[in-house]
Chains A and B, each alone.
Chain A
Amino acid sequence: ETGVTQSPTHLIKTRGQQVTLRCSSQSGHNTVSWYQQALGQGPQFIFQYYREEENGRGNFPPRFSGLQFPNYSSELNVNALELDDSALYLCASSLQVSGETQYFGPGTRLLVL
């Protein structure tokens, strides 16, 4: 088990709503990355946060946004939810911004109806 925790574990929303997912990074890790994993697919990089600023972004629209707090915990916010946003959202922490080893949390399963 890694020290990365995520909440909630499961979430059901309807199309058009907004959602906030939370992540606590492993102790001592200052970098948090978020990934979206659709059913039967590999995780896709959403963005990374380092020192409370976005530091790299994947091919996701602006309605996906995030925050990192001084204690290195992080939030992922998704506005105007679409049915295709249904997925497992994974948070991963690492020791430094260019660190290779990323430790994943258990994920939040989001279902959009």
Chain B
Amino acid sequence: QQQVKQSPQSLIVQKGGISIINCAYENTAFDYFPWYQQFPGKGPALLIAIRPDVSEKKEGRFTISFNKSAKQFSLHIMDSQPGDSATYFCAATVSTGTASKLTFGTGTRLQVTL
């Protein structure tokens, strides 16, 4: 069962443009939603994360928007740069559980062109 659905599968954005990646979840017990960035041959690196008690969180060029009622959240990358070209994964977890199991989306491959 795919508990976190991610779209699009791939995305091409021009340099300076806005990249938007969307995720939807089913488990209402999820209370922590991180985004990970993964470059080829590397492990995922934490980019930014949000809890459902806020609707938006911004760190530099990266913003998470969260819609609790719709059970959706999205990553916006402003002023996208070629160095942002990577695969992005949304994830979710129950932070108060006995084990911090991350449930990941299927990933979005972002390519930023010049």
A residues near B (Cβ < 8 Å) are 2, 4, 31, 33, 35, 40-45, 48, 50, 55-56, 58, 90, 92, 94, 97-107
Contacts and interface: CB of A to CB of B under 8 A. Distances in A.
Contact of A31 (B6, B89, B100): B100
Contact of B98 (A43, A45, A55, A103): A55
Interface of B: 4, 6, 32, 34, 36, 41-46, 49, 89, 91, 93, 95-107
Contacts, number: 79
Contacts of B95: 98-100
Contacts of A101: 34, 46, 49
A86 B101 CA distance: 22
Contacts of B102: 33, 35, 43, 45, 92, 102
26 contacts: A2-B45, A33-B99, A33-B101, A33-B102, A35-B102, A40-B106, A40-B107, A42-B89, A42-B104, A42-B106, A50-B99, A56-B97, A90-B43, A92-B102, A97-B100, A98-B95, A98-B98, A99-B100, A100-B49, A100-B93, A102-B46, A102-B100, A105-B43, A106-B41, A106-B42, A106-B43
